[in-house]
Amino acid sequence: GEIFLELEDDLPRLHADKRLLREALMCLLDNAFRFSPPGSPVVLGAERWGDEILLRVEDQGPGMPEEVLRELSRPETVEESAENAGRRAKSLLVCRRFVRSMGGELSFKAMPGEGTVAYIRIPVLPFIGEVS
């Protein structure tokens, strides 16, 4: 499959760890391709959303099962959730931990039979002024 980029122009700097953000996006992209029909595209988008950047990974798979969505919405720690989660949920729980460690949040919108959209919200790096 292909990745289609939908990136807003002139996005501000993120307050994020590049390595963790890359790992989180790779996890979401891997998940999107794994559960999409062969050859179907995956969208990677980025846009300004108030004081945050909203990153989006959108696939055309069957939609995330309700039990996985429930597991991902539980508030307990990754370690507690991972004990009872399936393989798919475990990797996404680790992804959520990466995103939260950067002050962000990970959420999902599943559309049965139409796909899943994963959203990462990361705070924008505040402008401090010119460096002399």
Dist. CA 17–CA 98, nearest whole Å: 9
- Go through the chain and tell me how many residues it has: 132
Nearest Cα neighbor of 58 from 72, 45, 71, 70 is: 45
Q: Coil, helix or strand for 88?
A: helix
pTM of the model: 0.84
Q: What is the DSSP letter of 68?
A: H
CATH of the domain spanning 3-123: 3.30.565.10
Task: Find residue 119's DSSP bridge partners.
Answer: 56, 107
pLDDT digits (tens, 9 = 90+) for 21-51: 999 999 999 999 999 999 999 999 999 999 9
Structural domain boundaries in the chain: 3-123
